[in-house]
Amino acid sequence: MEDVFSLVVSKLVSLGFFNFLTFILALTLVYALLKQRKIFGENPIINGLIAFSIAFFVLAYPIISGMNLTPQFSAFFSQAFVLILIFFVGFLMASFFYPDIPKMVGEFFKSRSTLFGVLALSLVLFISSGLVGIIYNSLVSSQQQGRPSPPTEITLLFAGLIIAIVVLLISSSVSRGG
Model pLDDT, residue 112: 78
- In which domain, by residue range, is 127 found? 68-136
Residue 149: what residue type? S
Is 163 contained in some domain? Answer: no
47, 74, 77: which is closest to 173 by C-alpha? Answer: 47
Residue 14 lies in a domain: no
For residue 104, being part of any structural domain is answered with yes
Q: Does the residue 76 lie in any domain?
A: yes
140-to-97, 137, 143 alpha-carbon distances in Å: 52, 5, 10
In a domain, 61, yes or no: no
Reference 67, options 139, 126, 1, 125; nearest CA is 139
Q: How many domains does the chain have?
A: 1
**Largest pairwise CA distance in the chain:** 66
In a domain, 121, yes or no: yes
Model confidence, pTM:
0.65
pLDDT at residue 143, as a whole number: 45
Distances (CA, A) of 126 to 46, 68, 76, 77, 115: 31, 16, 7, 10, 16
Task: Read off the pLDDT of residues 13-45 as tens digits, 9 standing for 90 and up.
Answer: 999 898 889 999 999 999 999 999 988 888 999
**54-64 pLDDT per residue, tens:** 999 888 888 88
Report yes or no on 50 lying in a domain. Answer: no
Question: Is 72 part of a structural domain of the chain?
Answer: yes
Whether residue 55 contacts residue 26, with contact meaning beta carbons closer than 8 Å, is answered with yes
